[in-house]
Structure 1
Amino acid sequence: MRHTNAAGYVKEYDFSALPVAEPMQRSLARLVAAHCTPHGWSSHGTSKSYWEKAKKFADFLSGLEDPPRDLDGVTAAMVKRWRLNQPPTGGGFETVHKLTSLLRSDARLQAGPVADELAVRVRRPKSTTQSYAEDELEQIKLAARRVFRAALLRIRENTECLERWRAGEIAEGSQEWVIGEVLDLLARTGGLPVTVHPCGTATLPRRYRRALGGSRGEVTWQRLFLSGMEAAAMGVLLMAEYGWNLAVIDRAEVPRATPDPGEDGHPTYRIPLEKRRRGAGHHFETRNVTDDGASSPGRLISEVLEATRCARAVVEDLAPGTDLLVVWHNTKSNQTQSDMDRPAPVGRFHFGVSSTMAKRWGQAHGLDGSPFRRGRRTVNALDRRQPGQNTQETHDRNYVLVDKRVQAEAVEVIAAGAENAAGRAHEAVLVAELRNAPVPGDTETATTDCRDYDDGPFPAPEGGCGASFLMCLGCENARVHPGHHPRLAHFHRALDSLHSVLPPRDWKKHWQDAHTRLEDLKGKLGEGQWAQALDRVTDADIEMIDFLLTGDLSS
């Protein structure tokens, strides 16, 4: 099977190598191939992931005592056994989710016990990736800034030398003039001429080596171009400033600057971004940032443009229209890369930051690996507090709600909100909304109906509502309709009786607020309607109120 990605590159998958019968091989190949269309999977990463899941399933089937020859021979017991064999990790969840969705697209597995087993939902494990502490991220940014700043100053100094050489401001024949000649060659071609000796070794001409101080990359091409690790440092800064992931950095186009309408003329950059994880129709986004000082959001863009200026000029000559922002130089010309979803190299120049480069950079600066995943979580969930490459739902579920630092910082906010809500409930007496009939979709509680149990003024640490049912009448999410009147009228009468036997201190602490709200409700409904409600009290109402009074149904 062959899959052509969005860039036009082809990747092949050999289903005949799977350890199952040929009919099963063909069925699995057809299921994967059905998605490898112009309107389906656009990246090799996606098709490769599903291929790997299909291969794991084939390996499982081949280990059975009586392996099925085709998908119509797969039983519900086989599917259940395979599912239970997956580890309770993110990888195991992904395997189950992708393979079951793939198998459900086969017409033979869309009804019956197998279909029911494939439809069983598996709980997504909580993410184990946590954000960096504030000082940790600052140290990472400081390390990246040091590397990138040194590269920027080096390129700036040599670019100025090149401009003076081209303007004829350097004495011909001097060492600085020779350096200018070398820089001009680099800026026009991206490389330097070499002498190939009979033994096969290649060296720079002697006059160049003497003027440059050797032939190492540090004193030759790095005068105008970033190295791979310097580009990785630049990527870390882009992640920390804007929350970009590696895929966005790979494809970030060169921003266009428009002068500020004010007298200062500060440039405002229009940055077009491609965010594939946002889903169809939301892949592209544009952001504007202004460079109006050293600490402004747009200053980093100005510096990135300056650091990649010479490299981008060479790339434009070699491959007009490439127009990518993050460009760096590789010592090997026309070197291919295994990941064909990433932009292809142009001559000696590569684009973006690969996951391998990110990991190497992190390890070189004392980290366990790449700083991008944890760094983006920190920036998007805590600093920017908005989605980066994902939808709002994914951002909240996978980045914000599971992050311990977010949870810790939210404690005071939740407590203050709950305290404020409680205060308003006591002051307003009856906050619940009075309705003439139930509202479809509301959730029934012991005393009222609730329109939004998961997002109320009294959140519980583990989610949902943390308030007692006694507080429902003091909640803005609560709704009271005539079906509640008998139970609430009985509750009011029971509290009147309780008032006469309880010590004043206990009454005030546990029951006075609820009684006051019921008094307010009674006044709003009127004596006649209240009396009718008491005539309609059922055994279920009495039992429910008994539970409330004894504490068996406190929340």
Structure 2
Amino acid sequence: MSARGRKASLPPADHSRPESLAFDRLTVRHYNSDGRVKEYDFSALPVAEPLQRSLAALFAARCASSWTRHGTSKSVHAHVAGFATFLSQQEQPPRDLDEISAALVKRWWLSVRTTAGGRKLFSSVTLLLRGDARLQTGPVVEELARRVGDLPSTRQSFNEADFEQVKLVARRMFRAALLRIEDNARHLERWRGGEFTSDSRERELGEALDVLARTGALPHTRGPAGQTTLAGRYRRVLGGATSEVTWQRLFLSRREATALGVLLMAEYGWNLSVIDRAVTPRATADPGMDGHPTYRIPLVKYRRGAGRHYETENVTDSGAGSPGRLITQALRATRFARVLADRLAPGTDHFVAWRTHRADKTTGDMERPLPVGPIRFGVSYDDARDWGKKEGIGGSPFQRGRRTVLAVERGERAQHSQETHDRTYVLPDQRVQAAAVPVIAAGAASAVRKAREAVKLAAMLSEVRDPAHAETATADCSDADGSPVPAPGGGCGASFLLCLACTNARVHADHHPRLGHLHQALTQMRSVLPPSAWERDWGDTHARLEDLKNTIGDGGWRHALARITDADREIVDHLLTGELNP
């Protein structure tokens, strides 16, 4: 069934899918999901005929079972041609697949591994070759199954100022076109309503617009030499014969449609293939009590794989600046082109529709929607590249712009998997990496704070000293032989600083001045040592002393600091220099 609800005609009862491999076994026909065919001639490969036939058979099998888009088969065929060129340059080129050795595959890998394109070529062709039974045993299997990682992406997002400039240029161009079409549409409606008097210029202009809306063109006359010119009456009322004053009154031009595509990319993260295939959004049957339309937008994304090609987005036009306002404006700007296309080819339903200046000019790209009369659909890579060059951007803004939208501005995936979003868009992007530095630093600092909060004083607090306990540099020890860090010769082998972390230790009031002085010394050291070094060597001890300070209270701590003796200072100095370490 078509998008407009018309039932599709069934194929004949004896219908079967055409064979991919032609009778000569060297020509492969690939039928895409739309039933259009593209041929590949394997006899042109610079290798022996048996190898040509083997490669063609593998290629045809994938065309028949896996690939639905010509873009895929075209890319793989180019990769196969590159592999064939490599084989032809060997001293003894293999005549068929059974002569391809592990050493040859490894030599090929070493020649292509340094570039992203070379790695993609290797992955593509080895996947194809693994389908042949002759290459499924022996040492060559391991080389063909080599895991190939991606090189870091060199494509980066726009900086904020550049992306705003791209959107500004597109917005100005599309808005000017929308205002022009709306103004002429109002004049056409007034003419159809019979508002103009006979023989007035307004009436003649309305008649011209009506002819243009119904046919997409205006009557021309043929001169003696065979040249065609716009009929005089229309040229007079329209003010000339250029596209700017004739068909552009009701239709977007190629550049204006590209500007609309840029805005769709910037607003929704759509890429060129999605824009090409997007059908006309429909407002929900009940837009709600507020009257704001909510559009349901079916999208097609073939790279997601069979069964996952389609998804739907819903956006609401609740006023200027809302997500759905661009959809409303785009529907208004493309309505005459869409209606004309459906009149010329019933069932045609594409969102981004525009009129070409050269209706006789065709394209060999069979993946894109077919033109209908003078109406074209979507935005091609050439359209985007030419638009970017003419507007001073340097090239197509779509790949960098989409990366900016998805990785930087929205930070969420669009018509692809979460893995692709993270690996392809987010992780390699320098703007994302720069923005992540303070976030990661804050997270690390928070983790350290949490860890410090978890470091508590393990030593027991006591009111007075027990004579049976042995005195240490920081506390008294109740059981040296039961130390968690025993010495080789018996007793405790831990640093005196770790007494604060031992449950055998006892801290009483006489220890408070010395520990208070140690706390002051560690705090002062923090300002002169590198943070990582201080945290490593003194962080835990400082945290335990902080816990002791909080337990004693500010008053008790101040009282302890007032009782610091020269002996306390000397012992702390020895602790900090390591002279008291075991």
The question of a shared fold, defined as TM-score above 0.5 by the shorter chain, is answered with yes
Answer yes or no: is the 8 Å Cα contact 2:79–2:124 preserved in 1: yes
Answer yes or no: is the 8 Å Cα contact 1:387–1:395 preserved in 2: yes
Matches within 5 A, 1:7-46: 7-37=34-64, 39-46=65-72
Deviations 1:251-306 (A, max 9, x none): 11111112665543011111111122233332211111111111111100000000
**Out of 166, 179, 198, which is 2:192 matched to?**
166
Aligned residue number for residue 550 of structure 2: none
Aligned residue number for residue 471 of structure 1: none
Aligned residue number for residue 144 of structure 2: 118
- Structure 1 counterpart SS, 2:112: coil
Does structure 1 residue 229 correspond to structure 2 residue 255?
A: yes
Letter in 2 for 1:252: A
Aligned residue number for residue 455 of structure 1: none
What TM-score results when the alignment is normalised by the length of structure 1?
0.79
Matches within 5 A, 1:527-538: none
Task: Name whichever of 324-333 and 236-245 sits farther off.
Answer: 324-333
**Out of 292, 312, 324, which is 2:338 matched to?**
312
**Out of 248, 258, 271, which is 2:284 matched to?**
258
Separation (CA, whole Å) in 1 of partners of 2:353 and 2:101: 52
**Out of 123, 147, 162, which is 2:173 matched to?**
147
Structure 1: unaligned runs, 5 residues or longer: 431-487, 519-555
Deviations 1:452-473 (A, max 9, x none): xxxxxxxxxxxxxxxxxxxxxx
Structure of larger gyration radius: 2
Does structure 1 residue 188 correspond to structure 2 residue 208?
A: no
Aligned residue number for residue 464 of structure 2: none
Aligned residue number for residue 239 of structure 1: 265
Aligned residue number for residue 203 of structure 1: 229
**Out of 302, 308, 312, which is 1:286 matched to?**
312
What TM-score results when the alignment is normalised by the length of structure 2?
0.75
Letter in 2 for 1:25: Q
Does structure 1 residue 214 correspond to structure 2 residue 262?
A: no
Query: Shift of the alpha carbon at 1:401?
Result: 0.7
Assess, with a 3 A threshold, how the Cα gap between structure 1 residues 509 and 199 changes in structure 2: closer, same or farther.
closer
Task: Name whichever of 58-67 and 228-237 sits farther off.
Answer: 58-67
- Structure 1 counterpart SS, 2:321: coil
Assess, with a 3 A threshold, how the Cα gap between structure 1 residues 329 and 510 changes in structure 2: closer, same or farther.
closer
Task: Name whichever of 334-343 and 14-23 sits farther off.
Answer: 334-343
Matches within 5 A, 1:53-132: 53-86=79-112, 88-132=114-158
Assess, with a 3 A threshold, how the Cα gap between structure 1 residues 418 and 305 changes in structure 2: closer, same or farther.
same
Does structure 1 residue 351 correspond to structure 2 residue 377?
A: yes
Answer yes or no: is the 8 Å Cα contact 2:498–2:541 preserved in 1: no
Separation (CA, whole Å) in 1 of partners of 2:204 and 2:138: 80
Separation (CA, whole Å) in 2 of partners of 1:380 and 1:493: 59
Separation (CA, whole Å) in 1 of partners of 2:97 and 2:542: 66
Letter in 2 for 1:159: A
Query: Could you say what the CA RMSD is over the residues aligned between the two structures, in angstroms?
Result: 2.7
Query: Shift of the alpha carbon at 1:198?
Result: 3.0
Aligned residue number for residue 301 of structure 1: 327
Letter in 2 for 1:162: L
Separation (CA, whole Å) in 1 of partners of 2:345 and 2:164: 38
Matches within 5 A, 1:451-466: none
Aligned residue number for residue 563 of structure 2: none
Assess, with a 3 A threshold, how the Cα gap between structure 1 residues 494 and 407 changes in structure 2: closer, same or farther.
farther
Letter in 1 for 2:313: R
Aligned residue number for residue 461 of structure 1: none
Separation (CA, whole Å) in 2 of partners of 1:8 and 1:372: 28
Separation (CA, whole Å) in 2 of partners of 1:84 and 1:284: 39
- Structure 1 counterpart SS, 2:146: coil
Answer yes or no: is the 8 Å Cα contact 1:326–1:351 preserved in 2: yes
Task: Name whichever of 328-337 and 92-101 sits farther off.
Answer: 328-337
Identity of aligned residues (%): 58
Assess, with a 3 A threshold, how the Cα gap between structure 1 residues 357 and 493 changes in structure 2: closer, same or farther.
farther
- Structure 2 counterpart SS, 1:370: coil
